[in-house]
Structures are given as C-alpha cells and as structure tokens.
Structure 1
Amino acid sequence: MAYLGDPILADDLLFRPEHSIIDQSLHPRLGGGITTNGDGFGIGWYSPDNSSPAVFKSTHPAWNDENLREVAPRIRTPLLFAHVRASSGTPVQRSNCHPFRSGRWLWMHNGSLAEFPRVRHDLQMAVDPSLYPLLEGNTDTETLFFLALTFGLTDDPPAAVARAVGFVEQVGSRHEIEHPVHMTAAATDGESIWVFRYSSEKATSSLYFSNDVAQVRRLYPDLQSLERLGTDTRFIVSEPLRDLPGAWTDVPEASWALIRRGQQEVHPFEPTVPA
C-alpha cells in the first residue's frame, strides 16, 4: 500500500481502513493462493520537512507487532509505503523486508523472479560496482531495485525498470526459465510514485490506484471518513482498502502508471533489453 496526499498519521493508514494492509496480511482476498503474509513487514515514509525517507522494518507478522502499534500514531507523513511479506524462499530477516531504500528513493515489490537462486549471480554481477556494496539482503526484490538503479531509475524510472526487466528476462532465457518475471512494483522519490504491473506469462497480481477524492465523495456523500482526505489524496494498493465501486482504477496488465498530486497517467509497459 502507498499513500500520497496531505500529511496524515500512519496509524490512520495502516490500521483504520476496513481492509487495511494489516488486515490483508492476515486475510488477503486476491493473493493468488497465499493465505497469510506473515514473514515480516516494513514501512517507509517521508516527513513533511525532510526529503530523505525513514524506514521501519521487522521480521514479526504485521498484525502482531507492538512496536508498530507504538510508532504508527506518532508518524505524520505525506507519503508512505507499506508492505507485508510472504517469502518466496529467501530467509525471514530484517534486511529482506520491503521497502528498500537508496538515497531519497524507496522501492517495494509483490511477486518473484523465477528460480532466483539460479540467476542471482548473473543478475547481481550486472549491478553498478558503486551500488553493489549497498546490497544488504538476498532477495530478488532488492536485486531488481539495484538493477533499476543501475539502468537509470533516478533519471527515468519507466525506462530504467523496462531495462531491468528486459535484462532479467534475457538472463532467464539463457537459463531456460520460461517465465522469469512476475511483479507489481512501486518506486518513489518522495514527490511522485511510479507503479508497474507486468509478468512474463501475462498473468500479474492485482494493482489499483484510487480515483479523484472529489469524485468518490460525490458517489458516497454519507461516508464521513472521506471528508478528512485532501483533494489530492491518492492510494495505491494490491487490494482495495474498502469495497467502493467507482473508487478504484485497476492498473491494466503490462502497464505502468505515474501518480502525483492531482494527477495520474497510465502507459503501456514493455521490457527492453539494455545495450
């Protein structure tokens, strides 16, 4: 889950929605067979007066972490990333929890790079030598993030992620892996959020962003919780936080979207093999 809008308490974002990210960690509805996401969690956020993000991660299940309940009512933020993890095979440890951070950038990902242990060496050897020492964990998600950074994430996020995904598919093909990539991913520089929905087999997990709050208010004039949200508020979610027809846009398969205050745009996503 990602939030962009007027500063708000993290507690209101993490715990109060009907189908919050905490509820999703226990009861995912669109998880593709995953019954819980209990292999750790993480949040990353920007302070209203600070361009560098902070992160808080734990290997505890999100629904049972007292430290998260302690800090969430004390974090006020205009942009928050939150992720609950179901490991695809790598260890349950703090360095493997999302979101991942580099400078002012945050990154998180649902999905997997198929047969990652077989391709990990080839992928990580392509990471820029100046970035390689910053790898902390051993997940496919962090590797994909550092490949995107290598291919220019800070200058042109859509092109960089297209190159990173194209490279992963190229390496996967060399290893005779049929469907190397499955991802919904999000990246932010603290001002804008880029999201990506793509899989090699064209069967990617769900991804949504919220529509204009003024429009949603007109649809649901009696829903008082909407009155507290600024007009530029946007949510990005794997599963809708509440069943409100007309409130959510489904990001199409093989697409990327740019979300910023008062603006959203959707474009086709196509991997490119880097030179």
Structure 2
Amino acid sequence: MCRHLAYVGPRVALGEILLRPPHSLYRQSWAPRRQAHGTVNADGFGVGWYAPGDPVPARYRRAGPIWADASFADLARVVRSGALLAAVRDATVATPDGEAAAAPFAAENLLFSHNGAVPGWPLSLARLAGGLPPADLLELAARCDAALLWALVRYRIRDGYPAPEALADTVRAVAAAASGSRLNLLLTDGEVIAATAWGDTLWYRTDPERGTVVASEPYDEDPLWTEVPDRTLLTATRTEVLRTPLKEPAA
C-alpha cells in the first residue's frame, strides 16, 4: 500500500519532483511499477515542504486521489522548496478521518510517512499504544496505523533518540508485536532524510548537483537510482547516503 518520496537538494518547483518525471508520484497513484501490495493509491495524498528561513513545514493534504485535484497542479507549478516529503495513500481499512489520515504527518520541524501495513491492527499494537502518555493518544491525528506509528516515533525523539534511531527502534518494536508488518517509514527535518526498508521497496538517488531523493520506487530511468536492501535503515543528506542493516527483533 502507498507510495512515498522525500527530497533534499537545490530549490525546485514541487512539480519537478512530484508531477513532471515519467513515473512520478502522481503517476504512481494509478500505475505504480514496483508496488507488491495494492494497485491504486487513491485514498488520499499529501505533500509537506520547507520555505527558506522557516524550519516549520507547510502541508497540503486531501482525502481523494491526487489526479482529481486540479488546484494541486497549480500549487506544484509555482511553489519552490529545497526539501519536501510527499505520499499517495492506498488505505488498508476504510476510516472516517479523511485528509487527517493522509501523510505527511507533522510536528515541530518534522514530516513523516508510512508505507506498509500492520497485521491485526489495532489490537496487535494495543500494548505499545498503552506505553504512550495519554496525551499522545488523545492527540493522534487519525485512527490509522500510520498515525500511531508516528506517535511512537515522536515519543522516542522526545526521549532523546536521534531521528534515525527512533525510526529503527519503532520498527523493531512494532515488528515484534505484529509479525509480518511492512514498515517502510520516511522522516525528514528538511536537512536529513531517514527511512527504513522493511517489507516493501525503497530506492534512492543522490547527486551533488541535484540533491538526494528517497522513494518507494524510481520516478525515471536515471542509472543513479539504487535499491535499498530489505531490513535497512537509510540516512541521507543532499550529498551523502548511509545504509545500516536492521536486525530482526528477538523472538
């Protein structure tokens, strides 16, 4: 389910990343090439981006398919940014939350997205949810697995975890609680992208002149695209990428 993408690099129009490439995230909403779970990502979409001098990202999210929103094409044509995170959503379970369930989720200077699914949701994560402060549960943006995963990540970051380690620790905890989960998480603060490959595809392309893109799948045929091995934590800036193996949780 879902396709998502994050970019850090020179300022570009959002459409240069999200709409213009031949296999862009826009096209992946109805014709993904490497999506193994689900076929059409039409249950919502969103993009968050950073403006110069402002560390808090702006967001544009909708409950319907990206291709049905004529206003988004105009926005993407004129808004420019050096960092963004965007997603198109294929929901596993219908919810009444509308655009609140569409990534990216946000808090302070962070943007977050989840590509995957948690078997047995919500009961499978009841114990992990019970370990969160009550205020965190009351502040959940939506009643979906991605919103709870975001709360678990935020809790770890507030507890002092660096963002990449917060992703990795959350993935291990959720995988232990719900075996068979697909947990490709994506997080950025506008400078660094952190991501996990756990049960679904993840690729990256980095170029000193064009910046770095981390995505569920390549949006063009550029030979610089590199697939990330499953069970990997990826940390990327606009010029560098670090890959760290993720261990399976103890039985």
- Give the TM-score, by structure 2 length: 0.90
Give the C-alpha shift of residue 36 in structure 1.
Answer: 1.0
What's the counterpart of residue 83 of structure 2? 79
**For residues 33 and 135 of structure 1, what CA distance do their matches in structure 2 show?**
26
What's the counterpart of residue 115 of structure 1? 120
- Change in 2 beyond 3 A, CA 1:145/1:271: farther
What's the counterpart of residue 41 of structure 2? 37
Note if 1:169 corresponds to 2:175.
yes
Give the C-alpha shift of residue 127 in structure 1.
Answer: 2.1
For 1:207, the aligned partner's letter is L
Long gaps (5+) in structure 2: none
Give the C-alpha shift of residue 272 in structure 1.
Answer: 5.8
**For residues 131 and 94 of structure 2, what CA distance do their matches in structure 1 show?**
20
Stretches (4+) displaced over 4 A: none
Out of 198, 202, 211, the position equivalent to 1:207 is 202
Corresponding residue SS for 2:122: helix
What's the counterpart of residue 58 of structure 1? 62
How many residue pairs match? The answer is 244
**For residues 120 and 253 of structure 1, what CA distance do their matches in structure 2 show?**
22
Aligned positions of 1:79-98 closer than 5 A: 79-91=83-95, 93-98=98-103
Corresponding residue SS for 1:116: coil
Give the C-alpha shift of residue 47 in structure 1.
Answer: 0.6
Give the C-alpha shift of residue 182 in structure 1.
Answer: 0.7
**For residues 191 and 211 of structure 1, what CA distance do their matches in structure 2 show?**
14
RMSD: 1.9
| Contact 2:50 2:56 (C-alpha < 8 Å) held by counterparts | yes
**For residues 169 and 235 of structure 2, what CA distance do their matches in structure 1 show?**
18
Corresponding residue SS for 2:27: helix
Long gaps (5+) in structure 1: 173-177, 199-203, 214-230
Aligned positions of 1:1-275 closer than 5 A: 1-91=5-95, 93-152=98-157, 155-172=161-178, 178-179=179-180, 181-198=181-198, 204-212=199-207, 231=209, 233-244=211-222, 246-270=223-247
- Give the TM-score, by structure 1 length: 0.83
Give the C-alpha shift of residue 10 in structure 1.
Answer: 0.8
Corresponding residue SS for 2:41: coil
What's the counterpart of residue 216 of structure 1? none
| Contact 1:162 1:271 (C-alpha < 8 Å) held by counterparts | no
| Contact 2:168 2:196 (C-alpha < 8 Å) held by counterparts | no
**For residues 254 and 170 of structure 1, what CA distance do their matches in structure 2 show?**
14
